[in-house]
Amino acid sequence: MILLTHSVFVVAVTGTFAQHVWPVPYKRFDYRPKTDPYCQARYTFCPTGYPDGQIPAMKDEDTIEVFKLQAPVWEFKYGDLLGHFKIMHDAIGFRSILTGKNYTAEWYELFQLGNCTFPHLRPGIEAPFWCNQGAACFFEGIDDVHWKQNGTLAMVTTITGSLFNQMAKWMKEDNDTGIYYETWTVQSTPEVNTTIWFESYDCSKYVQRTFRKLADLGAVFTKTLQTNYTRIFLYSGEPLYVGNETVVFGPGENKTAATEIRNFYSPFRTPWSVREFLINLLSIYDEVVLRKEFYLFYNFEYWLLPMKYPYIKITYEEIPLP
């Protein structure tokens, strides 16, 4: 289990100084903006979900069973393939004892993972364009086969209908204010007690966040179930603040930084041939491993990561229930 060690950094921004604490806090918003028509999903987001993130109310006297759900990422397309590499998707299940109805809650990308992790570089427009929104999906039913066959469907606690309704209100607020997906966890080393620079914001964090909220509201979780989550790490020295889109690409832009950021993201675009794929792969290796540079887009701001060995790692580590 990774333990957070906080440290302080100071950056100069347009002549003033702003003080922050590592990890950089995930920025929340007053409301969820409409998505840009340029962003198109290959697979429809939340096709059977309740509109506008609504969650049906339960009767106060009801008993609700709560389940941890986990299955390989993109199982609908690749079966259990990614499960062999412990690349898993997480969700939460609910079952009303009073009505017998089941429900699923999950948080994931509106426009698939690639669009959340890397931007589009559009001809004639200098600034990279991001389709990186993520959101919660709440729908009736639990696909038992999907979760059980290659993953997990396990009850972790029971709550009252009243507590469920309190959680549902929090879920709506959380969804309206946390609007973008973040793939990477960035930290100094793979060791415990290391400094975490940036936290991810993905499906697993949604499950952990919801479980913590339930615990705060009074839910008591089983201690017999081991709960593991997939995490994707980048390892770097202390990140260097570059600026937001206006600073880097707007009037009076930082031309050097703007060029380097576009060049960095260029190899991550969808390749049109095997040859282009191999060239792009070599370019990525050159940037990340040889030049030891990675540009991170976080809170709608750009950061330069001075990369360190082992550079990138996918883990499947235990994070206990509250």
Judged on CB neighbours under 10 Å (0-12, 13-18, 19+), 63 is: middle
Q: What is the pTM of this model?
A: 0.89
User: What is the full DSSP assignment across 157-192?
Assistant: EEEEHHHHHHHHHHHHHHHHH--B-B--EEES-SST
Per DSSP, the three-state class of 249 is: helix
CA neighbours within 13 Å on the CB side: how many for 275? 0
The encoded tokens of residue 77 equal 């397309």
pLDDT recorded at residue 272: 64
Question: Exposure string (b/e) for 145-176, b if CB count within 10 Å is 16 or more?
Answer: ebbeebbbbbebbebbbbbbbbbbebbbebbb
Each residue's pLDDT expressed in tens, for the chain with a length of 322 residues: 233 333 333 343 333 334 468 999 999 999 888 889 999 998 899 999 987 778 999 999 999 999 999 999 988 777 778 777 888 999 999 999 999 999 999 999 999 998 999 999 998 889 999 999 999 999 999 999 999 988 999 999 999 999 999 999 999 999 999 999 999 999 999 998 999 999 999 999 999 999 999 999 999 999 899 999 999 999 999 999 999 999 999 887 778 999 999 999 998 877 667 777 677 678 888 888 888 999 999 999 999 999 999 999 999 999 999 9
**Can you say whether residue 268 is alpha, beta or left, with left for phi > 0 and alpha for psi between -120 and 50 degrees?**
alpha
* The residue to which tokens 């975490």 are assigned: 196
Which sign, positive or negative, has the C-alpha torsion 191, 268, 126, 128?
negative
CA distances from 221 to 18, 32, 120, 303 (A): 40, 32, 42, 38
Question: Which positions are catalytic?
Answer: 89, 203
Q: Rg of the chain over CA atoms, in angstroms?
A: 21
At residue 57, the pLDDT reads 96
| pLDDT computed for residue 227 by the predictor | 96
Predicted confidence at residue 13, as pLDDT, reads: 39
Considering only CA atoms, which of 199, 196, 166 is closest in space to residue 180?
A: 199
